[in-house]
Amino acid sequence: MLAYEKALQRVLAATNILGSENVPLNLALGRVLAAPVKAMMNQPPFDGSAMDGYAVIAREIKPDAVLQNIGESQAGAGFDGELASGQCVRIFTGAPMPKGANAVIMQEYCSVDGDQVSFEKSVEPAQNVRPLGQDFMKGQQLLEVGTAINPATIALIAAANVGQIEVFKRPNISILATGNELVAPGSDMKPGQIVGSNGFALSALFSPLANKIIDIGSASDNENELREKFKEALSGPSDVIISTGGASVGDYDLVLPVLKSLGVEIDFWKIAIRPGKPIIFGKKNNKLIFALPGNPVSAYVCAVSVVIPAIRAMGGHKQPCPKSLSLPLAKSMPANGIRRHFMRGKIVEIDGQSHVEPILQTDSSHLSSLAQAEVLLVALENQGELPVGTIVQTIPLP
C-alpha cells in the first residue's frame, strides 16, 4: 500500500492547469485569478467625508466658534463653491469635500440656528476625511495570480472599476457508479438492491470546483458494459473521470482490468488510508481517472482527501489541499493502526472554545454519521490513544 502523502504527491504531479478564460465579475465567485488585477481608478476618487457633519477649515474650529453654513454636499452631488474663512458646508458620509475645507466635524458636536453653526469642540486637519486614493490608486496591483475569488475580493475588483477578470479554467468531471445492486432514489426496491447515493454526493461535492458535471449513469458488474461506459467518458470532454465501486479484489471488481484494457496508465492502486484503501489512480491523454470504493463513506473520504486536491490544482489554486484546522479534542481518541484514519468528527463548544469530538462510528457505509460530521479528524499511522485536550488536525468538510 502506498502512503497517503506519497499518493497525494503523485496525483498532484500528474495534474495540469487547464488554461485560462475571461469571465464577467458576476460569474467569478470561486474562480482563481490567472492574471493580476489592477485598479482602473483611484479609490476613493476624491477627498470625501467619513461622517455626517460639517466641512470646515480646521484651524477655525474651537469651542463656541460660530460659522455660516453656505450650502450642502451630499453623495453624488457635491458643493460647487469654495469655502472662505468663517464659512462651513453641511456634508454627508461619502460626499466630496468642498474646495477650501480640510476637515469634517461630526454633527453631534454642532448646534444650528438658521444658517449659523456653532461648535462644541475643535477638530484636527484631515479628521473624518477619506483622502483620494486612500484605499488604492489607479494602476496599482490589487490581487495576484492564484488568488481565489471570494465575496470580499469581488467587492474590491468591482470598486476598482474592473468588469471582467482572467481566471483559470475549471475541469469537466464525469461520474460513473458501478454495481449490480444499485437503483435510483424513489425506485421500487427488490430484494438485494440498495439505493445509489455516491453519484449524488460526489456531484454536490465537486460542483463548486467544476466547469461541468457529466453524469454517465451507472453500470452493472459486467466487463463489456463497464468498458463502454469508460470509453464514453474517455472520448468525451471530461478532464477528470471518477467511478465508484468495483475497485477492490472480488470476483465482480472489474474496474482495474477494464481500465488497463483501455490503455489507462495506472499510477497506483491501494493507499494506506481508512476508509478508502482500494482507490485506483491513472491517466490517459491528460485525463485523470479515479476509481473510488463503492461504500459511500469511503468514496466521500477519498474524494475529499485525494480527488479534491487534484481538481483544485487543475483550477489554479496555489494551495490545492484544503486548509486544515488544529483543534483540541473534546473526547479521547482511540489508538490507530497502520493506515491513516480520516475519522468523522463534529465541532463542539466547551467554555467558549471550539473543540472537535470524534464520531466513533467507523462503518464505511454509515451515512447518518457522515451527515453529522463537520470535519474529518486525522488520526496518524500507528498513533496511540490521545486524551481530551490534545491538539489534533482536522479537515473541514464542505
238-279 pLDDT, tens per residue?
999 999 987 665 555 788 999 999 999 999 999 999 998 899
Contact between residue 147 and residue 263 where contact means Cβ atoms under 8 Å apart: no
Percentage of the chain modeled with pLDDT above 90 = 86
Phi–psi pair at 106, nearest 5 degrees: -65, 145
Distance CA 367, CA 147 (A): 34
Contact between residue 164 and residue 25 where contact means Cβ atoms under 8 Å apart: yes
Distance CA 287, CA 238 (A): 7
Contact between residue 158 and residue 230 where contact means Cβ atoms under 8 Å apart: no
Task: Quote the pLDDT of residue 322.
Answer: 81
Peptide bond into 293 cis (omega under 30): no
Contact between residue 116 and residue 66 where contact means Cβ atoms under 8 Å apart: yes
Distance CA 384, CA 381 (A): 9
Q: How far is CA 188 from CA 182, 184, 185, in A?
A: 12, 9, 9
**Domain range 48-130, its CATH number among 1.10.340.30, 2.170.190.11, 3.90.550.10, 2.102.10.10:** 2.170.190.11
Q: Which fold has domain 4-17+170-314?
A: Molybdenum Cofactor Biosythetic Enzyme; Chain A (3.40.980)
Task: Quote the pLDDT of residue 252.
Answer: 53
CATH classification of 20-43+135-168 is 3.90.105.10, yes or no? Answer: yes
**Domain range 325-393, its CATH number among 2.40.340.10, 3.30.9.10, 1.25.40.10, 3.40.50.1100:** 2.40.340.10
Task: Quote the pLDDT of residue 248.
Answer: 64
* Domain ranges, ordered by start, for the chain: 4-17+170-314, 20-43+135-168, 48-130, 325-393
**45-68, pLDDT tens digit by residue?**
999 999 999 999 999 999 989 999
Task: Quote the pLDDT of residue 185.
Answer: 79
Do the domains 48-130 and 325-393 sit in the same CATH topology, yes or no? Answer: no
Distance CA 317, CA 209 (A): 10
Residues in the chain with pLDDT values less than 50: none
Task: Quote the pLDDT of residue 250.
Answer: 58
Distance CA 244, CA 365 (A): 13
User: 368: phi > 0 → left, psi -120 to 50 → alpha, else beta; which?
Assistant: alpha
State the CB neighbour count (10 A cutoff) for residue 96: 22
CA angle 140, 143, 148 (to 5 degrees): 170
What is the value of pTM for the model shown? 0.87
AA identity, residue 262: L
Task: Quote the pLDDT of residue 219.
Answer: 82
**371-390, pLDDT tens digit by residue?**
999 999 999 999 999 999 99
Task: Quote the pLDDT of residue 249.
Answer: 59
